[in-house]
Amino acid sequence: MTTDGVDGKPEVREAPAPERTEVPEHAEAAGTAGAEEAPAPDPEKAVWRGPTAWVVPALLTVLGLVGVWGGLTIEAPPNATRPGPGAFPAVVGVLLLITAACMAVVNLRNRATGDGTPSLAWFEGRPVLLVLAGLVVHVALLEFLGWLLAGALLFWTVAYAFGARAHLRDATVALSVSAAVQVGFSLGLGLSLPGGFLELVL
């Protein structure tokens, strides 16, 4: 028995739904309409196959190299006690490299036995890129546009990525939530979120 991370289980659809009540009001917005879907694999138990199998070992190797590099180059002040500030980074770096090597060995072994089917077929890149784009734009424009507009834009983009298509209603909800947060924070908690250029105009 493994504890699979924080992801939901595919059992959802087999779950008994005794009183299948009203269809949710926003059924067109909820992206999960189909009934016959291939259940997503449980990533925590899935074996890595194909080129993507090397992503995690590569990440660990890079982190490990940075750690070892830091361990070797960080200069301790002359009066510092030993072990100095570089000791822990070096140890963690070496452990990261060892872990990466273990994963690489497992990968090579799996390549010999596997059937070569890609394990990440379920991954949908488009919505992820949309959400990421929304976040990047939000961070870039937050101080110029102000919280109200940048926050609303982020809300709208993420909602769009998740399949919301009622553009006018989405925009209204986005603006209201963003405004409520700004008012709540500045009045209730005395924390000022950036006003942006609206502050200059109004």
Q: Which of 63, 137, 175, 179 binds another protein (CB under 8 A)?
A: 63
Q: How far apart are CA 104 and CA 64, in angstroms?
A: 14
For the CB of residue 200, give the shortest distance to another protein in the complex, in Å.
19
Residues 121-150 that bind another protein (CB under 8 A): 122-125, 127-128, 130-132, 134-136, 138-139, 142-143
108 binds another protein (CB under 8 A): no
Q: Which distant-in-sequence residues (6+ apart) come within 8 Å of 134 by Cβ?
A: 153, 154, 156, 157, 158, 161
Q: Which of 72, 102, 108, 133 binds another protein (CB under 8 A)?
A: 102
Residue the block writes with tokens 């590099």: 69
Q: Which of 65, 92, 137, 179 binds another protein (CB under 8 A)?
A: 92
51 binds another protein (CB under 8 A): no
Per rule CB under 8 A, count of chain residues that contact another protein: 108
For the CB of residue 80, give the shortest distance to another protein in the complex, in Å.
4
Q: Phi and psi of 23, rounded to 5°?
A: -65, 135
Residues 9-28 that bind another protein (CB under 8 A): 9-13, 15-19, 24-26
197 binds another protein (CB under 8 A): no
Compute the C-alpha angle 182/184/190, nearest 5°. 90
Q: How far apart are CA 87 and CA 72, in angstroms?
A: 9
Q: Check if the beta carbon of residue 96 is closer than 8 Å to that of residue 63.
A: yes
Q: Which distant-in-sequence residues (6+ apart) come within 8 Å of 106 by Cβ?
A: none
Q: Which of 61, 167, 181, 199 binds another protein (CB under 8 A)?
A: 181
170 binds another protein (CB under 8 A): yes
